[in-house]
Amino acid sequence: MSDDVQAVPVHDVITVGAGPAALTAAIYTTREDIETLLFERGVIGGLAAVTDKIDNYPGFFEGIEGLTLADNLQKQAERFGAVIEFGEVTALRDEGEFKVLETTSGTMKARAVLIATGSDYKKIGVPGELEFYGRGVHYCATCDGAFYRDKTLVVVGGGNSAIQEAMFLTRFTTHIDLLVRSTIKASDVLQQDLQKYVDDGKITVHLGVATDEIVGENNSVTKVLATKTETGEKLEFTPDGVFVFVGLLPNSQFLKDTPIELDEVGLVLSNEDLQTNMPGVFVAGDIRSGATMQVASAVGEGATAALKIREYLEDRKHPVQN
């Protein structure tokens, strides 16, 4: 074996991403002495870490700050020996026994790989959106809707998710202004359901309205500035919060030139064992096609993936004799 080959680090498991699914998987693998390296290009804990408060995670009856949950998961994984490295995986290929990953830290090999890069919420890109993220601007109704009980909201978007989430939010709010840049693109069934909420006065739909700016003070949103796209008329809304539902952007760009199969929106396809079409490469969390986009389910998938990875590695240690 050449010195170059020997110089390539070899790991039992490399996890791409360090969100709740990845950290949970690492807790399980490292507890069983399966050496695990996690690569994270952004924030440890993923979207959960930048969520102000997670109110629907089991076991925390008063809710828990997203950053606190992420920090606890990290400490637990590291206590068992998981290593987290900041960097980016840029390519992945199969070389039989090993999966080869090209990273910003150089070439690495792993006996198994877990893809847990998650998804990011698409942004509308207006002033105030990032500044008030988690402090009046939200992207998950089930996560944050209950904070707005008996308050008013602006919802931005006109697709299936926007309509579904707006109707869900009426459980808490007194009124919702739905801002749709052009026309509603949701399914006919959802549009019929929406009309019931419009007739009841719970939702007011504003078609052809572009969101221009989200304004706030003292860590809370105070108003939303918008423009009618046809006339240029300026509008102003004064909600207690803003929910943006214009889609998710899967963090799967590094897989575009690999054999890993993706669905039509870029989420990773897998079988019932959470294994992709590349043997030894597994997927868990929000990046998986069919995921529910909840922290609790991501944690569950991380545990499942770890157990399936253990089985995969054990099978290769002790191959079945015919």
**What is the percent of the chain with per-residue pLDDT over 90, rounded to a whole number?**
80
Stated pTM of the model: 0.73
Q: Which residues pair with 206 in a beta bridge?
A: 179
CA distance 82 to 29: 9
Instruction: Specify the pLDDT at position 43.
Output: 87
Task: Identify which of 119, 75, 109, 74 has the alpha carbon closest to the alpha carbon of residue 89.
Answer: 109
Per residue in 282-321, pLDDT tens? 999 999 999 988 899 999 999 999 999 999 999 987 554 4
The tally of CA atoms less than 13 A away on the side-chain side of residue 227 is 7
Cα 4 versus chain centre, distance: 37
Per residue in 150-206, pLDDT tens? 999 999 999 988 999 999 999 999 999 999 999 999 999 999 999 999 999 999 999
pLDDT higher than 50, residue 322: no
- H or E, element range at 302: helix 295-317
Class of domain 123-244: alpha beta
CA distance 92 to 103: 9
pLDDT higher than 70, residue 79: yes
pLDDT higher than 60, residue 10: yes
CA distance 162 to 141: 10
Q: Are 245 and 155 in contact (CB under 8 A)?
A: yes
The fold for domain 3-120+248-317 equals FAD/NAD(P)-binding domain (3.50.50)
Instruction: Specify the pLDDT at position 320.
Output: 46
Within 8 A by CB and 6+ apart from 9, the residues are 106, 108, 109
Query: Who has greater pLDDT, 173 or 143?
Result: 173
Q: What is the mean pLDDT of the chain?
A: 92
Domains 3-120+248-317 and 123-244 share a fold: yes
Instruction: Specify the pLDDT at position 319.
Output: 52
Query: Who has greater pLDDT, 154 or 247?
Result: 154
CA distance 121 to 248: 5
CA distance 320 to 311: 13
CA distance 151 to 104: 46
Instruction: Specify the pLDDT at position 236.
Output: 98
CA distance 142 to 270: 25
CA distance 167 to 59: 27
Q: Which residues pair with 268 in a beta bridge?
A: 262, 288
Q: Are 48 and 69 in contact (CB under 8 A)?
A: yes
Task: Identify which of 39, 35, 37, 36 has the alpha carbon closest to the alpha carbon of residue 17.
Answer: 39
pLDDT-derived band at 6 (thresholds 50, 70, 90) equals low
Task: Identify which of 251, 244, 219, 246 has the alpha carbon closest to the alpha carbon of residue 46.
Answer: 251
Per residue in 262-284, pLDDT tens? 999 899 999 999 999 999 999 99
According to DSSP, the β-strands at 98-103 and 89-95 are antiparallel
Q: Are 166 and 176 in contact (CB under 8 A)?
A: yes
Q: Would you list the domain boundaries of the chain?
A: 3-120+248-317, 123-244
Fill in the DSSP letter of residue 320.
P
